[in-house]
Amino acid sequence: MLNRTCSLLVVVCVLHMSVMLLFYLKNFTRNTPAPTHLNRGPETVRLTLTEEEPAPQTDSEDNNTLPQCPDTPPNLVGPLQVDFSDPVKLEKLEKDPQLSLGGRHTPSKCVSQQKVAIIIPFRNREHHLKYWLFYMHPLLQKQQLDYGVYVIEQDGENKFNRAKLLNVGYTEALKEYDYNCFVFSDVDLIPVDDRNIYKCFDQPRHLSVAMDKFRFRLPYKQYFGGVSAMSKKQYLKINGFPNNFWGWGGEDDDIYNRLSYRGMTISRPAGAIGRCKMIRHTRDKLNESNPQRFTRIHHTRQTMDTDGINSLTYKVVALEKKQLYTKIIVDIGKP
Ligand code: BGN
């Protein structure tokens, strides 16, 4: 009897343990999460990746995620209509939301490869400046440049000194922004092809290569006048420009000599792209030709290390932020 009772107890215990084991195993599988790579389909995996590693943004207002502007701006059209027979109005341009005070513009859709300061030596040419601003702001924006326009006006009644004003422009522009490219432009020259990009190249760039006044040709091979562009590095390599060319002529040849003595060559756009128009005018009263220019350009090699950006002195008389440009009136002394 005892024996039978014991056997029954053992059977009940085994049964109980089996039921418990079954119950336990069932519960275990239900509560343990399965490894994701086993129970998720490919779509779910892809979705998880997208959430964790966002693709690079290509079009955002946030400057950190903007792409670099392309080498060739996408909306250029080639030849342009430029006409000086009718007066132009600047009201619309002055309301352009793409321009900020002082004639500054930064592309909103991409990051420019260069920061370009445009320096214009100036005196008594308000009506030329109007044309320049009217045609150049839309063009420079289309070229996707991060740029600012600096008009450097010579104060007083002394002879005009273009190269010294350019040195002042270089110095003053750098006080405002970390420019690494400088375009030096006469106020009366407008390119008539938007593929002539106002930026810097491996070698100093001459931009006004086919002017209407020279029948759309270079007047001579070494000609570097009108509009030119130099990186900060190229400009410093030649100690900037001469400060002692008072009156018309020769300073551009001195600059060419400097480049050539420092082993640089001139880069130029093709003739058809480098066409530009000059606003016709008579020689300014205080810009008679400089009789010393012939001797000076023969001594560039001797003078360039001591006469230049390292010897520049001037006094700012006024600095005015206009909507379309920054005007700096300077006292640069006398001959
Ligand atoms: C040259 C001038 C340049 C001027 C061009 C175009 C001189 C130096 C003595 C030969 N050079 O003759 O300064 O940009 O003509 O007008 O006068």
Residue-by-residue DSSP string for 75-108:
T--SB-----SS----HHHHT-TT-BTTTEE--S
| Domain presence at residue 165 | yes
Whether residue 17 is predicted with pLDDT greater than 60 in this model: the reply is: no
| Domain presence at residue 28 | no
Ligand 1 atom at minimal distance to the Cα of residue 248: 13
Question: Residues near ligand 1 with C-beta < 6 Å?
Answer: 219, 225, 249-250, 252-253, 293-294, 297
List all residues 6 or more positions away from 209 whose beta carbon is below 8 Å from its beta carbon.
Answer: 218, 268, 269, 271, 274
Q: What is the pLDDT of residue 281?
A: 83
Q: Whose CA is nearest to atom 8 of ligand 1?
A: 250
Average pLDDT over residues 186-190: 98
Q: Whose CA is nearest to atom 7 of ligand 1?
A: 250
φ/ψ of 12, rounded to 5, equals -60, -45
292-331, pLDDT tens digit by residue? Answer: 999 999 999 999 999 999 999 999 999 999 999 999 999 9
Active site residue 283: yes
Average pLDDT over residues 168-186: 98
Catalytic-labelled residue, pool 153, 172, 193, 251: 251
Give dist(CA 207, CA 226) in Å, integer. Answer: 8
Domain of 235: which CATH number?
A: 3.90.550.10
Q: What is the pLDDT of residue 290?
A: 96
Q: Any idea which of 5-14, 45-54, 117-126 has the lowest mean pLDDT?
A: 45-54
Give dist(CA 125, CA 118) in Å, integer. Answer: 17
| Domain presence at residue 129 | yes
Whether residue 62 is predicted with pLDDT greater than 80 in this model: the reply is: no
Rounded to two decimals, what is the model's pTM?
0.82
Q: Whose CA is nearest to atom 11 of ligand 1?
A: 250
Q: What is the pLDDT of residue 197?
A: 98
Beta bridge partners of 197: none
Pick from 184, 217, 281, 293 the residue to mutate for probing ligand 1's pocket: most ligand atoms within 8 Å of its CB: 293
| Domain presence at residue 217 | yes
Q: What is the pLDDT of residue 38?
A: 29
Give dist(CA 50, CA 40) in Å, integer. Answer: 15
Beta bridge partners of 229: 183, 205
Active site residue 188: yes
- Within the chain, where are the H helices? 2-31, 36-39, 42-52, 91-94, 126-142, 162-176, 232-237, 251-261, 293-298, 300-303
Q: What is the pLDDT of residue 40?
A: 32
Q: Whose CA is nearest to atom 14 of ligand 1?
A: 225
Average pLDDT over residues 232-247: 98
The dihedral built from the CA positions of residue 233, 266, 119 and 68, taken in this order, carries a sign that is negative
Average pLDDT over residues 77-94: 96
Ligand 1 center–CA 214 separation, angstroms: 13
Helix, strand, coil percentages, rounded to 5, for the chain: 35, 20, 45
Ligand 1 center–CA 39 separation, angstroms: 81
Give dist(CA 294, CA 272) in Å, integer. Answer: 32
Whether residue 280 is predicted with pLDDT greater than 90 in this model: the reply is: no
| Domain presence at residue 35 | no
Q: What is the pLDDT of residue 283?
A: 76
Catalytic-labelled residue, pool 40, 248, 264, 284: 248
Give the residue among 83, 307, 40 at the shortest CA–CA distance from 190.
83
Ligand 1 atom at minimal distance to the Cα of residue 252: 13
Active site residue 299: no
Whether residue 108 is predicted with pLDDT greater than 80 in this model: the reply is: yes
Q: What is the pLDDT of residue 34?
A: 31
CA angle 305, 162, 170 (to 5 degrees): 65
Token digits for 321?
A: 């932020």
- With a pLDDT cut of 70, the percent of the chain lying above it is 81
Give dist(CA 85, CA 323) in Å, integer. Answer: 25
- With a pLDDT cut of 90, the percent of the chain lying above it is 78
Active site residue 146: no
Query: Would you place residue 21 in the very low, low, confident or very high pLDDT band (cuts 50, 70, 90)?
Result: very low
Active site residue 132: no
Q: What is the pLDDT of residue 286?
A: 86
Q: What is the pLDDT of residue 15?
A: 60
| Domain presence at residue 1 | no
Pick from 213, 252, 299, 300 the residue to mutate for probing ligand 1's pocket: most ligand atoms within 8 Å of its CB: 252
Domain span at 117 = 91-331
| Domain presence at residue 289 | yes
Mean pLDDT of the chain: 86
Ligand 1 center–CA 111 separation, angstroms: 38
Active site residue 251: yes
Q: For the chain, what is the domain count?
A: 1
| Domain presence at residue 55 | no
